[in-house]
Chain A
């Protein structure tokens, strides 16, 4: 059982790390600001989400696990809002489509 949980952690964290990699590649390689903004959300939602899911079995109490999920939800909320707001400045400054 323990081995299985550890395996889950390893797989989820590695997948999460991959999405951070994808987010970075997108941020560096995509041609304009709005597409780059789109790359960002992958890291926010999936990268951190998978890391959090992977770490859940390593927590020693339910409250620690809840806190972990809370952190992810907070990042989702503020990350999505920030993206939307950044997109708005892009539209006003004319660099968007």
Chain B
């Protein structure tokens, strides 16, 4: 079982790593953030799989921390981006 879980973690990491091509190609910063977001989710899945494979329960807490902070970079990016668009900061939060 452990071998299978490690293999699955490696597969998922390989997949989301392919998605990083978007970081290289862009074209916009938003596409890059998306690739990072996908990698974050894949990374959490990999941490869970590896933690279960080794039976080390504390890795769950690592995944919990990652999940709590996963979207912060995206939030900060959007905030900074909207603050730069003139006249946008005031209506920033109304769709």
B-side residues, CB < 8 A to A, are 1, 4-5, 8, 11-12, 15-16, 18-19, 21-22, 28, 30-31, 33-35, 37-38, 41-42, 44-45, 48-49, 52, 57, 60, 63-64, 67-68, 70-71, 74-75, 77-78, 81-82, 85, 88, 95
| Dominant secondary structure at the A interface | helix
26 contacts between A and B (CB under 8 A): A13-B5, A16-B45, A17-B15, A20-B12, A20-B16, A27-B19, A28-B18, A40-B37, A43-B38, A47-B41, A47-B42, A47-B45, A51-B8, A64-B57, A64-B60, A68-B60, A70-B64, A78-B68, A82-B71, A82-B75, A85-B74, A86-B34, A88-B82, A88-B95, A89-B77, A89-B81
